[in-house]
Amino acid sequence: MRKTRLWAMTGVMVLFALFYFFRTDNGNNNLKEIRTALISKGDLRITIAATGVVTPYIEVEVKSKAGGEIVRFPFEEGDGLKKGEVAVRLDPETEKSRVNQARADLLSAEAGLEKARIMLKDAELKEKRQTSLFDDRVVSRQDLDNAVITAEKAKSDVKIAEAGLIRARETLKEAEDRLKDTEITAPLSGTILKKFAEEGQVIASTTSSVSEGTLLFTMADLGRIYIEALVDETDIGRVSPGQEVTVTVDAYPEKSFKGNVVRIAPKGRVESTITVFEVFIEVEDKDRSMLRPMMTANVEILTDLRKDVLLVPFEAVRAKGDETGIYKYVNKEPVWTPVRSGMGNGILTEIEGDAGAGEEIVISGIENSMPGPGQAKDAKKGFQLFGRGR
């Protein structure tokens, strides 16, 4: 009986030993899961990420007040123009006819004013004569009143004629401007962005100078390129003019462009329930001509730069009670080392303390490498069983 019990106890201990061995082996496998890195020393860039749109410094719409057939428009989108260069020519005959008509109307208005002034002079003479005759009791009061009324009416006719003359002069000026506008010149040196008319197309003229005119093309000065970036209100307090900016676009994924913040909008706006502020960034890179209007841009605004500091991956910094520190990896063992953590950019964190560049530290896996409470309890229990077996 005792022999049977002894064999049973021996079997239990062997099973437990095998079980504990494999658990320990699993613990050793966990050690292999530890990820480490080296403490480095360098510069830490603190940035704010945002998206925006490429926009030219100046963009204008070129319109024509004149009407007629477009007889020459040799430029295409992307072509460059110099300021004052003729871009579009219209058939001038229609506008010449309107100028001649306006000149005739002006002559008519001038003649009408001259006639009104003669009539006024005649009416004033008659009024003066009737007044003298009335004083001599030759004519009646009614005759005098009629003469006075005629003179007042003549004065009013002169004012109407003067207004008509002013209107005729303005009409002629507008007609002459439209005639000049049959040759449309570039208002600035730049590039044609979009054409809205072609040779052979007939466009209508405007009837007054306040009309918008017919849109022919848009152009922009691409010598200066800006990014209109939208920055979240939580970050806008860290943005200020003069800050360095790095710009990338999807068209050139391996190319970055340098720029600077030049202006921040004083008022925000709501985009998808989030308040954002427009930040205007001028691109100063020598290759900025590669950027085209309406490209989507990704920007990183440099808000702070920490030079020559100790850097560790941000996940390496841990809290242990009231302390902040890192685990150095010494002789394949993690060693807790308190440090002071500083600024971080989400990838690297600045530290100060008992650490140096080149030292190996634990990034992750340290929780799995340490024996847990269950493992320690099982080990103690196993030794007790071994003791009782003996």
CA angle 133, 134, 135 (to 5 degrees): 90
The 10 Å Cβ neighbour count of residue 344 is 18
Cβ atoms of 364 and 20 closer than 8 Å = no
Selection from 30-34, 41-45, 242-246, 251-255 with the highest mean pLDDT = 242-246
Structure-token pair, residue 117: 């002034």
CA angle 301, 302, 305 (to 5 degrees): 170
DSSP class per residue in 203-237: EPPPSSTTS--EEEEEEEEEEEEEEEEEEETTTGG
- Per-residue pLDDT of 46-102, as tens digits, reads 899 999 999 998 899 999 888 889 999 999 998 999 999 999 999 998 889 989 999
Per residue, the 3-state secondary structure of 87-102, as one string, reads: EEEECCHHHHHHHHHH
pLDDT class of 347 with cuts at 50, 70, 90? confident
Residue with token string 């100063």: 284
Provide mean pLDDT across the span 269-281: 93
Q: Which run of H or E residues covers position 275?
A: strand 274-283
pLDDT at 368: 46
Contacts of 333 by beta carbon, 8 Å cutoff, 6+ apart: none
Collapse the DSSP code of 241 into the 3-class scheme (helix H, G, I; strand E, B; otherwise coil) and give the result.
coil
Structure-token pair, residue 138: 């030759």
pLDDT of residue 30 exceeding 70:
no
The 10 Å Cβ neighbour count of residue 146 is 15
Cβ atoms of 57 and 221 closer than 8 Å = yes
pLDDT of residue 20 exceeding 80:
no
- Per-residue pLDDT of 311-324, as tens digits, reads 999 888 998 888 89
Distance CA 47, CA 45 (A): 6
Residue type, 174: E
Average pLDDT, the chain: 83
Give the CA distances from residue 108 to residues 105, 113, 114, 273, in Å, rounded to whole numbers and listed in that order: 5, 9, 10, 64
Distance CA 350, CA 342 (A): 5
- Percentage of the residues of the chain whose pLDDT score is greater than 90: 49
- Per-residue pLDDT of 116-159, as tens digits, reads 999 999 999 998 998 988 888 888 899 889 999 999 999 999 99
User: Phi and psi of 128, rounded to 5°?
Assistant: -65, -40
pLDDT at 353: 87
- Per-residue pLDDT of 175-227, as tens digits, reads 888 888 889 999 999 999 999 999 999 988 765 544 578 899 999 988 889 99
